[in-house]
Amino acid sequence: MEIDKPVSVRDHEAFAVKNMPDLGYDVEDTKVYTWRLNNWRKLEKRITSPEFECGGHRWRILLFPFGNSLDEPETVSVYLDYADPKRAPEGWYARAQFALVISNPNDPTIYTVNHAHHCFTVEECDWGFTRFGDLRELFHVYEGDTRPTIEDDSGEVTAVVRVLKVPRVVGRAPTPAFSHPQGLQDGSNTMVPSVLPVVADLNPVNDLHPVTDIHPVTDLHPVTDLRRPT
C-alpha cells in the first residue's frame, strides 16, 4: 500500500494541487507569500503582514494570534485582507481563491491549512477564518509528528492567492454569492469577514443565517462578533 508523502508548504505547486481544488475558472495570477513570526505569545492582539501584489491588487495577511471573538478564546483567527480598498478605483472587485496556512518554520510539512474563495469588494475587503485553529493545538505535538505547528514560539503564516478571471455580468455588481468556506480541518471553521457591518439586519441578500452547530456547511454564516479592529 502506497503511503502519501507529506507535502511541504514551500513546494508551492504540489501544495496548491493538494489543498486548492480547481474551481473551473482561468487563473489571472498566483502569489505565495510567507510571513515569519517569532515570540508568538508576545504578539499584539491584531497584526498585519507587509503587503504583497497579486493580479494587480495589493494584499496582506490579517492575523489575530489569540482570536478575534470573545466567544472563542484561545483560538487563532486569520484573514486575507485587501490592503488599501479606499485607494482602489471606484467599483473595484477581485475574485480570489486562497489558502491560509500556519506551518512549522523548521519543518514545513507540519502545518494547519484552510482554503476558500471570495469576491473582495469595498464592503467585504477581508475574508478568512475566525476559528482558524485552536491555539493550544498549534503548540501541541501530534502523534506521528516530531514537532508542533508553532515551535519555540515561532511559526510561519502563508497566504497562497489565486486571482481568478470570472466573467462579470454587464450591469450587475459583484455578489458575495461567489464566496464559499472550505475548512480542511473538521468543517467547524466559520469563514467570515474580520468585522461584520453594524446594521439592524445581519441577514445578507443571499439569506445567510447564524451558525448554531459545528457541522460542515455549504453556505457562509455570519457570527455575532461585531468588534471593529483598530
CATH code for the structural domain at 12-192: 2.60.210.10
**Helices and strands (DSSP H and E) totals, the chain:** 2, 11
How far separated are the first and last CA of the chain, in Å rounded? 52
- Confidence at residue 53, expressed as pLDDT on a 0 to 100 scale: 97
- Cβ atoms of residues 115 and 126 within 8 Å: no
Model confidence, pTM: 0.75
Cell of 19: 489543498
Cα–Cα distance, 122 to 94 (Å, whole number) = 10
pLDDT digits (tens, 9 = 90+) for 16-72: 999 999 999 999 999 999 999 999 999 999 999 999 999 999 999 999 999 997 777
pLDDT in tens, 67-114: 997 777 789 999 999 998 888 888 889 999 999 999 999 999 999 999
In this prediction, residues 111-137 reach a mean pLDDT of 95
pLDDT the model gives residue 190 = 44
As given in the structure block, the three cell numbers for residue 28 are 489571472
